[in-house]
């Protein structure tokens, strides 16, 4: 390539590793925040299908999570809008955090 200037930057392997880690962390945070804000605005309501897809559970499991039991109150409380049952994303995200916390332990 004639006439194309080339720039050489000298960095140590540790500096290079830090640069790569920072870039990957930023890309991961952008991806994660874009996914959450695009699909799960905490103030919006979610359908049964979206909640099941997000939590990777079946409709039957979601139904069990939405019922009061002798052991305690329901984990998710559905709202009836017309004929549809909808869930608050805020509550779905809270359940997801708890579920992942117990699953990792």
Q: What is the pLDDT along the chain (105 residues), one digit of tens a residue?
A: 567 888 888 889 999 999 999 998 888 777 666 655 555 555 688 899 999 988 888 999 999 989 888 888 888 999 988 899 999 988 888 888 877 655 554
CB neighbour list of residue 105: distance below 8 Å, 6 or more residues apart: none
Whether residues 62 and 74 fall in one domain: yes
Whether residues 32 and 74 fall in one domain: no
Alpha helices in the chain (DSSP H): 13-39, 48-55, 59-65, 89-104
> Phi and psi at residue 60, in whole multiples of 5°?
-65, -40
Whether residues 46 and 97 fall in one domain: yes
Whether residues 23 and 71 fall in one domain: no
Q: What global pTM score does this model have? A: 0.55
Start-to-end C-alpha separation, the chain = 56
Distance CA 54, CA 61 (A): 13
Whether residues 76 and 31 fall in one domain: no
The number of distinct structural domains making up the chain is 2
Domain range for 34 is 9-39
Distance CA 33, CA 25 (A): 12
pLDDT of residue 102: 54
């Amino acid at each position: 390539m004639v006439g194309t200037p080339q720039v050489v930057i000298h960095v140590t392997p540790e500096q290079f590793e830090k640069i790569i880690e920072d870039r990957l962390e930023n890309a991961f945070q952008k991806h994660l925040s874009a996914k959450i804000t695009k699909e799960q605005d905490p103030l919006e309501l979610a359908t049964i299908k979206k909640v099941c897809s997000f939590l990777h559970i079946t409709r039957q499991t979601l139904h069990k999570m939405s019922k009061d039991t002798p052991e305690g109150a329901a984990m998710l409380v559905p709202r009836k809008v017309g004929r549809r049952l909808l869930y608050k994303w805020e509550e779905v995200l809270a359940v997801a955090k708890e579920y992942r916390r117990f699953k990792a332990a």
